[in-house]
Amino acid sequence: MPAPPSTRNHSTNPWPEWPLIWRSEYGHEEVTVRYGKDPRNFNILAKAFLATPDGQSVAGIKTVGVEWQKSPETGRMDLVEVPGSDKILECDLVLLAMGFLGPEKTLLEELNLAADARSNIQTPGGRYSTSVPRIYAAGDCRRGQSLVVHAINEGRQAARQVDIDLMGHTLLPGPGGVVQPEGSSTLKCCT
C-alpha cells in the first residue's frame, strides 16, 4: 500500500471516519533519530527469500517496488511492479507478522510443545521458555491474538530471556526500562 496522505481527503475519508493520514509515533521518531531514516517502507512486494551459499540459512529478501493502477478494461485496481525497482535486503532472520487464529497445531505436535486451554503455546508465568528446552514463544502464539505492540514487547523480553539463559546475564532492557546486570553498582530502574 502507498503511504497515507499528510492531510485528510474529505471526499474519500469524511468525518466521522477515523482520519487516514500519515502519523509518526514515538517509536518511528526514535528509529529515525537513531538510524537516520523513517523505518516504514511502502509499496514494496517481497518476491523471494535468498539463501546462504550452503542453502542452510536465509541471507536476504528480494523485493520490488509496486504501485496500484486502475485497469482500463476491468476498472479494478491492479498491483503493478515498477521496472528497475528491484532491491535485495540483506538479513539473517525474517520474522513474519501476519495475524492468525492460533499456532499451527502441527507445529505444536512436531515440536512436542505444551499448549494451554486456548491452544496457545504454554509458558511459565512471566517467562517465554516453553515445555521444550531452548524453544521460546512470544506474541500471539503465546498470549493469543492481541495488539502488535504486545507482540513486539514480548519478542524483546523473549530475546532478553534467551540472553540470560545462554549468557547467564543480560544488558537488554527489562519490562518497563533498563535493568542493570546483577552486581552492578548502579541502581535498577523501572523494574
| 125 occurs within a structural domain | yes
What is the total count of domains within the chain?
1
Give the tens place of pLDDT for each residue, 43-94: 999 999 999 999 999 999 999 999 999 989 988 989 999 999 999 999 999 8
Its pTM stands at: 0.48
**pLDDT tens track for 21-57:** 999 888 889 999 999 999 888 999 999 999 999 999 9
Residue 123 belongs to some domain of the structure: yes
> Could you tell me if residue 151 is inside a domain?
yes
Q: How does DSSP assign 50-115, residue by residue?
A: EE-TTSSSEEEEEEEEEEEEE-TTT--EEEEEPTT--EEEE-S--------SS--HHHHHHHT--B
Residue 75 lies inside a defined structural domain of this protein: no
- For residue 120, being part of any structural domain is answered with yes
Which residue range is the domain that position 161 belongs to? 105-167
Whether 57 is in a domain gets the answer: no
Q: Tell whether 38 is covered by a domain.
A: no
